[in-house]
Amino acid sequence: MKTRLASPGGIVLLKTFIIGILLGIAAAAGALYAYPAVDQHREASIVAVAPNGGNVESFHVTIPMDRIMVGAPGRKQPLPPGMQWPIDEELSGIRMELFKVRNARDIVIGVASRTSARDVEVVEWVLHLPARGSLYVSMQAQALEGGIRLGEITAGSREFAPLNGFMTERWVADKSGEQDGPSGRIELRANYVGEFIPEDEEGLE
């Protein structure tokens, strides 16, 4: 074996093997660098410019198709089936719902939670759009005229981090009369207002 490896053919074989090792390392590093380990599916945002400034984006939740969870004490038929909502005095005044969220083209683009509580009279939404970020909205418990509930964008992450504004919530009952149709939908309309950046600072960046 020693003589075979020491022979010209053996040395070439060893060199080929070493080149293979280097190629393998380079290929693995290159592949990890070039190809994203995670590639989130994106739907184009449907954003309109509001007449009085800011941008408007509409979302909706189709009920009951998009409802994932209804968490509230004393429900006879839990959703999802088999869920055990904690029986705890501390949580008796909370109602928490989880949904899938659709854009204006009726495509699911994210998930959301809606929480209402009796002790501070508030309704709060968190919209989580995986490719873009999350929005946190605190709304008044009392609906305005026309059944519209108004809330302020309290915080946001990633794409939504620099945005302020408000969001409205409205229940629209389904009037199609279809037997297997939805009972209605929750319409959410977000009005984003960006943070003002003076021209000097913009230039510096």
Rg (CA), the chain: 27
CB of 69 to other proteins, least distance (A): 5
**180, 40 Cβ separation under 8 angstroms:** no
CB of 48 to other proteins, least distance (A): 20
Pick 17 or 196: Cβ nearer other proteins: 17
DSSP annotation of 176 reads S
φ, ψ for residue 121 (rounded to 5)?
50, 65
Which two structure tokens, joined as six digits, stand for 117? Answer: 């509580």
What distance in Å separates the CA atoms of residue 30 and residue 39, rounded to the nearest whole number? 17
Pick 130 or 181: Cβ nearer other proteins: 130
Pick 16 or 179: Cβ nearer other proteins: 16
CB of 64 to other proteins, least distance (A): 10
Pick 128 or 189: Cβ nearer other proteins: 128
Pick 69 or 193: Cβ nearer other proteins: 69
**121, 137 Cβ separation under 8 angstroms:** no
Pick 133 or 182: Cβ nearer other proteins: 133
CB of 187 to other proteins, least distance (A): 19
Longest dimension (CA), the chain: 95
Chain position carrying tokens 């005229």: 145
Name residue 186's beta-bridge partners. Answer: 61, 171
CB of 70 to other proteins, least distance (A): 10
What distance in Å separates the CA atoms of residue 112 and residue 127, rounded to the nearest whole number? 4
CB of 195 to other proteins, least distance (A): 15
